[in-house]
């Protein structure tokens, strides 16, 4: 793939003009008038994946026209149409490699909101050109990609944010404050759960080969497959439903893990896990004979991820993840009639310490802290967690990134981001560690009697620094992936 040489003249211009503004003003702000945005304060933005979530990501980044959207990329012209109407001056591409090649010099920052299998290669292409990136969750499709993006963001000195917008909600700050005050004590057990999958999952690989929808060409489909293994078009693979297939998605855990595990991961200052094990649900269409679909994510799973103690939390932690309708039982301190997690208990978190037990919804929302013999503690009304962008869409998660891009790498705005890759890289690795366990669990060889020998069903020991499972080598095939010819992590 031909990519222009890194040219960051405009990026330097933005950063330098910010530096200059810090030392002297050529034209005082008030002379320019209220609401005036100087051209040098505008970011030049591009979107990779402009339909689906990508539409709101680029809309939020444009910040009501405060920034220029100069290019949009989406393999699907129909899916991209809303964004193209919103940004009529933006040039439209189907291949992000061509877009980056053409606009390599002009783009400052890129939003990346494709299905999970494209995040890694698209983000790396932009980062290697020195572009700031906002990448949807999970940051990547596999652990190796997350590690490489985290490193590349430092090497190329770009401002990054993963799109787990709940990281900017005030509930997380409240929980952090309670934990820092010692109200939970040392936390040893964490439960996280979601009602996902809410799309077809655990079902057989589709056998039929329907025609492509009229608006999609073979070339569009090839671009959609991108770095993944080639499969013919099927509506079960695009759109939205790609989540249930390992070739494209990361299942229930990948979809919600970065939103839900985020709170305990940050509050407890967790790092690389050291052990993981799991069990998964099965589907039976015939007596005694479970469907075997290693290509598909399972209909439900429970995963236990273990962590060593951290500088914030002087205890080892067992984190238990449940999905597909499974959820934890009431811990001792939470009364039987109180709801666990969020409304309807669809998603939630429980953190159990030696002094208190906390439960909250996804994003750390609506936290309740239970302590023996004391009133339940809740978040005071109007608590904003110090976030001055709360009125912006998604609690200003995207706006904070935009401001940090303008302020530059390692600026105080950058260091204040809630999900820059230094943090969200290891968080994503942890989430994907669960998927590595799930995929190892389904490894099997056929037996002579027609049954199956599941030889991967064990506790896996992880060496985080060297990115290796140390007690079952076959599991290491799921750390990274082979890319289809023509695609690479560069
Ligand atoms: N943060 C959140 O709350 C949130 C919510 C929804 C989705 N997401 C994330 O956003 C991403 C997209 O999810 P979605 O639900 O919008 O999926 P989707 O299938 O609805 O949309 C994906 C879009 O990406 C486009 N696309 C696919 N491959 C592409 C490629 N190679 N180049 C350019 N465009 C490409 C598709 O045509 C489509 O318009 C996922 O990673 C998902 O996890 C995050």
CA of 489 to the centre of ligand 1 (A): 19
Does 9-166+395-419 match 168-385+426-478 in CATH topology? no
Ligand 1 center from residue 53 Cα (angstroms): 6
The domain 9-166+395-419 having CATH identifier 3.30.230.70: the answer here is no
Q: What is the mean pLDDT of residues 118-133?
A: 98
pLDDT of residue 450: 86
CA 415 to ligand 1 centroid distance, Å: 27
**Which of 1, 47, 51 best tests ligand 1's pocket when mutated (most atoms within 8 Å of CB)?**
51
pLDDT higher than threshold 60 for residue 449: yes
User: Is residue 274 within 8 Å of 304, Cβ to Cβ?
Assistant: no
- Asked if pLDDT for residue 227 goes beyond 70, the answer is yes
Strand partners, 162: 135
pLDDT at position 246 is 98
pLDDT tens digits, one per residue of 36-95: 566 668 999 999 999 999 999 999 999 999 999 999 999 999 999 999 999 999 999 999
What's residue 28's pLDDT?
39
Closest residue by Cα to atom 20, ligand 1, is: 52
**Residue with more model confidence, 143 or 37:** 143
Domain ranges of the chain: 9-166+395-419, 168-385+426-478
- For domain 168-385+426-478, give the CATH number: 3.30.360.10
Decide if pLDDT at 448 tops 90: yes
Question: Measuring CA to CA, which residue among 362, 363, 401 is closest to residue 173?
Answer: 363
Helix axes 116-128, 143-155, angle to 10 degrees: 20
How many angstroms separate the alpha carbon of residue 199 from the centre of ligand 1?
Answer: 15
Which atom number of ligand 1 is nearest to the Cα of residue 116? 41
Q: What is the atom index within ligand 1 of the atom nearest the CA of 254?
A: 43
Q: What is the pLDDT of residue 16?
A: 36
Average pLDDT value for residue range 228-239: 98
Q: Which atom of ligand 1 is nearest to the CA of 80?
A: 39
The CA distances from residue 232 to 207, 208, 481, 482, in Å, are 10, 9, 20, 19
Q: Is this model's pTM higher than 0.95 or not?
A: no
How far, in Å, is the centroid of ligand 1 from the Cα of 243? 10
* Ligand 1: residue whose CA is nearest its atom 21: 52
Q: pLDDT grade, residue 4 (50/70/90)?
A: very low
Pocket test for ligand 1, best of 54, 96, 256 (most atoms within 8 A of CB): 54
Measure 48 CA to ligand 1 centroid, in angstroms.
Answer: 9
Nearest of 427, 399, 393, 425 to residue 413 by alpha carbon:
399
Going along 246-329, which residue ranges are E strands?
275-280, 284-286, 289-290, 301-307, 317-323
Separation of 55 CA from ligand 1 center, angstroms?
A: 9
393-430 per-position pLDDT tens digit: 999 999 999 999 999 999 999 999 999 999 999 999 99
Q: Rounded to the nearest whole angstrom, what is the distance from the C-alpha of residue 113 to the centroid of ligand 1?
A: 5
Q: Tell me if residue 109 falls in helix, strand or coil.
A: strand
- pLDDT of 116 strictly over 90: yes
Q: What is the distance in A from the centroid of ligand 1 to the CA of 64?
A: 22
Q: Which residues line ligand 1 (CB under 6 A)?
A: 48-49, 51-54, 73-76, 79, 96, 113-116, 118, 136-137, 163, 165, 223-224, 226, 239-240, 255
Choice from 1, 46, 50, 52 to test ligand 1 binding pocket (greatest atom count within 8 A of CB): 52
What pLDDT is attached to residue 38?
62
Look up tokens 């302020």; give the residue: 407
Q: What percent of the chain has pLDDT over 90?
A: 91
Nearest CA to ligand 1 atom 31: 224
């Amino acid at each position: 793939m031909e990519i222009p040489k890194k040219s960051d003249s405009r990026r330097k211009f933005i950063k330098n003009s910010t530096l200059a503004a810090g030392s002297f003003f050529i034209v005082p702000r008030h002379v320019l008038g209220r609401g005036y945005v100087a051209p040098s304060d505008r970011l030049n933005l591009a979107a990779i994946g402009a339909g689906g979530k990508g539409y709101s990501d680029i809309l939020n980044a444009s910040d009501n026209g405060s920034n220029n959207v100069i290019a949009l990329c989406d393999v699907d012209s129909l899916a991209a149409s809303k964004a193209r109407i919103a940004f009529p001056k933006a040039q439209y591409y189907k291949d992000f490699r061509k877009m980056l090649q053409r606009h390599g010099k002009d783009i400052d920052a890129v939003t990346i909101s494709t299905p999970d299998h494209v995040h890694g290669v698209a983000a790396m292409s932009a980062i290697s050109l020195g572009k700031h990136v906002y990448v949807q969750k999970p940051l990547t499709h596999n652990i190796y990609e997350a590690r490489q993006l985290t490193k590349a963001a430092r090497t190329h000195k770009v401002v990054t944010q993963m799109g787990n917008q709940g990281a900017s909600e005030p509930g997380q700050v409240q929980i952090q404050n309670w934990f820092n005050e010692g109200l939970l004590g040392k936390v040893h057990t964490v439960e996280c759960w979601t009602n996902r999958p809410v799309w077809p999952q655990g079902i057989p690989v589709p056998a039929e080969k329907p025609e492509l929808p009229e608006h999609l060409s073979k070339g569009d489909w090839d671009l959609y497959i991108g770095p993944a293994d080639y499969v013919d078009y099927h509506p079960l693979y695009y759109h939205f439903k790609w989540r249930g297939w390992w070739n494209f998605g990361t299942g229930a855990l990948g979809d919600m893990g970065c939103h839900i595990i985020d709170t305990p991961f940050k509050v407890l200052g967790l790092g690389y896990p050291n052990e993981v094990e799991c069990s998964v649900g099965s589907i039976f269409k015939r007596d005694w004979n479970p469907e075997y679909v290693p290509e598909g994510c399972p209909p439900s799973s429970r995963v236990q991820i273990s962590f060593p103690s951290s500088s914030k939390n002087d205890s080892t932690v067992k984190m238990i993840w449940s999905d597909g309708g499974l959820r934890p039982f009431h811990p001792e301190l939470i009364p039987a009639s109180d709801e666990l997690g969020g409304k309807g208990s669809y998603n939630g978190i429980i953190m159990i310490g030696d002094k208190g037990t906390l439960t909250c919804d996804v994003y750390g929302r609506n936290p309740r802290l239970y302590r023996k013999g004391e009133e339940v503690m809740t978040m005071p009304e109007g608590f904003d967690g110090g976030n001055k962008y709360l009125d912006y869409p998604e609690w200003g998660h995207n706006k904070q990134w935009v401001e940090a891009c303008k302020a530059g790498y390692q600026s105080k705005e950058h260091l204040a981001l809630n999900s820059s890759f230094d943090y969200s890289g290891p968080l994503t690795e942890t989430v994907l560690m669960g998927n590595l366990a799930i995929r190892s669990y389904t490894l099997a060889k056929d037996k002579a009697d027609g049954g199956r020998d599941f030889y991967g069903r064990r506790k896996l020991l992880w060496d985080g620094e060297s990115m290796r499972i140390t007690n079952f080598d076959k599991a290491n095939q799921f750390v990274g992936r082979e890319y289809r010819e023509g695609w690479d992590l560069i």
